[in-house]
């Protein structure tokens, strides 16, 4: 048996502790699979506080950068988090020192992935990041290693468990976003500052990574159109249910005639679809390709053990000597294809308007839609009492046939300018089977 693979882990939070637990629990099985022992030898963390795991036998580093440079490790596992700062400095140090790196840090990869991949290639080491997207779901390995005979046309998924939990609770228990978010924080599903989750940025980081893997392109997170779930209301959730849909926050990347379109936004999906059945904190990723047609991977998108499972899978690959280019192709071979703006997205739309109950309002809205050849599939109006001293505002829901988002936005801007709308319009894209 080969010499043991010496592992240094920076970050002893929930995931770091779970990685150590898995490496100990599966030590014999991992050694048999890899032909060598996977041996944690050192750790780094902010404090030496008591922990649920015993780290007394491991070398302790107060400075994770010193651990990354230590000649006593072969693999550096970065579980610190953050796009810059210590995480970036440590990963750069480890790769430059000829050590392979495993990370769960999607923000780091979305911002610096190309430079880090080049550094790994230059030094002949591995950069593993299975845990950075969709927790325990092996979607990175699937795209990078399992589909070379396919041309991928689309990747779409639920990539944030916090948002999926909130949307599930809103539908099932008829609770507002704020209350569901507070419960998610109490249960540990959401951070104290949940802005990245509910604002869509976390999903965008993960989508940027999947896009590079799926289409052989350079990571370009700035070209992702992002909408979160913070402005969704119970009225939208209930309307979706009545229409036969569920609302999910999706990350979508697809090949179009104008380039690679990347978008994150709430989406109405048919209740009969596989992705609509994914509830709670679970994640799902659907890959459309020419040979396999459609693959859907569903599983735990976060949590200590699922994420640790993905980290250990990358460590095991390194122990076996696997050295695939981090993004499937050498960085020099990754294309800088044009990104198609979301304005060119074609599909149906749900539009909720709060319309002043005045003569001519409905006709003006219909005229603005007709001016841009937007065909309406249905119009639903529900009357509610108006506030005293103010014109009554009536909720009106429009469902369009397939059209371009650019036209929808232009029509709604004109409707707002006409002065018939009491609140900003709510627009949700519809994905039909």
Would you state the structure tokens that stand for residue 123, as one six-digit string? Answer: 């030094």
Residue 106 known to be catalytic? no
Give the N- to C-terminal CA distance of the chain in Å, as an integer. Answer: 52
C-beta neighbour count of 248 within 10 angstroms = 26
Query: What is the C-alpha separation between 402 and 423, in angstroms, rounded?
Result: 25
- The residue annotated as part of the active site, out of 206, 230, 248, 390, is 206
Q: Which of 329, 307, 303 is nearest to 77 (CA)?
A: 307
DSSP calls for 135-180? TT--HHHIIIII-TT--EEEEEEE--HHHHHHHHHHHHH---HHHH
Beta strands in 163-241 (DSSP E): 225-226
How far from the centroid of its chain's Cα atoms is residue 209's Cα?
9
- The C-alpha atoms of residue 322 and residue 73 are separated, in whole angstroms, by 18
Q: Does residue 206 come out as left (phi exceeding 0), alpha (psi in the -120 to 50 range) or beta?
A: alpha
CA distances from 201 to 132, 219, 379 (A): 14, 15, 33
Q: Which two tokens stand for residue 43?
A: 């750790």
Q: Do the beta carbons of residue 237 and residue 248 sit within 8 Å?
A: no
Residues with catalytic function: 206
């Amino acid at each position: 048996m080969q010499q043991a693979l010496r592992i240094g882990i920076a970050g002893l939070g929930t995931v770091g502790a779970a990685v150590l637990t898995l490496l100990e629990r599966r030590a014999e099985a991992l050694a048999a699979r890899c032909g060598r022992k996977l041996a944690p030898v050192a750790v780094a963390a902010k404090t030496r506080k008591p922990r649920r795991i015993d780290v007394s036998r491991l070398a302790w580093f107060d400075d994770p950068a010193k651990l990354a440079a230590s000649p006593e490790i072969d693999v550096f596992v970065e579980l610190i988090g953050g796009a810059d700062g210590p995480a970036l400095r440590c990963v750069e140090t480890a790769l430059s020192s000829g050590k392979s790196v495993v990370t769960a840090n999607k923000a780091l990869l979305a911002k610096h992935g190309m430079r880090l991949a080049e550094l790994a290639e230059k030094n002949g080491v591995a950069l593993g990041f299975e845990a950075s997207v969709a927790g325990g779901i092996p979607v990175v390995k699937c795209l990078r290693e399992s589909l070379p005979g396919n041309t991928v046309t689309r990747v779409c998924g639920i990539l944030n468990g916090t948002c999926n939990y909130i949307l599930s609770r809103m539908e099932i228990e008829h609770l507002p976003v704020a209350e569901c978010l507070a419960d998610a924080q109490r249960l540990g599903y959401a951070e104290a500052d949940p802005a990245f989750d509910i604002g869509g940025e976390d999903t965008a980081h993960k989508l940027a990574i999947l896009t590079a893997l799926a289409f052989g392109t350079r990571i370009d997170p700035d070209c992702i159109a992002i909408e979160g779930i913070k402005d969704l209301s119970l009225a939208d959730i209930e309307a979706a249910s009545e229409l036969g849909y569920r609302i999910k926050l999706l990350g979508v990347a697809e090949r179009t005639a104008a380039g690679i379109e990347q978008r994150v936004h709430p989406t109405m999906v048919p209740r009969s679809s596989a992705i609509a059945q994914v509830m709670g904190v679970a994640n799902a990723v659907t890959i459309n390709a020419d040979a396999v047609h459609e693959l859907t991977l569903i599983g735990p998108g976060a949590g200590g053990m699922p994420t640790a499972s993905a980290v250990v899978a990358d460590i095991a690959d390194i122990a076996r000597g696997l050295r695939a280019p981090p993004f499937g192709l050498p960085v020099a071979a990754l294309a800088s294809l044009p990104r198609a703006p979301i304005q060119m997205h074609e599909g149906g739309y749900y539009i909720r308007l709060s319309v002043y109950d005045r003569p001519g309002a409905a006709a003006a809205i219909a005229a603005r839609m007709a001016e841009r050849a937007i065909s309406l599939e249905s119009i639903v109006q529900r009357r509610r009492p108006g506030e005293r001293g103010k014109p009554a505002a009536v909720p009106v829901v429009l469902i369009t046939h397939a059209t371009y988002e650019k036209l929808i936005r232009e029509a709604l801007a004109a409707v707002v300018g006409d002065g018939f709308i009491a609140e900003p319009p709510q627009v949700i894209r519809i994905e039909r089977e």
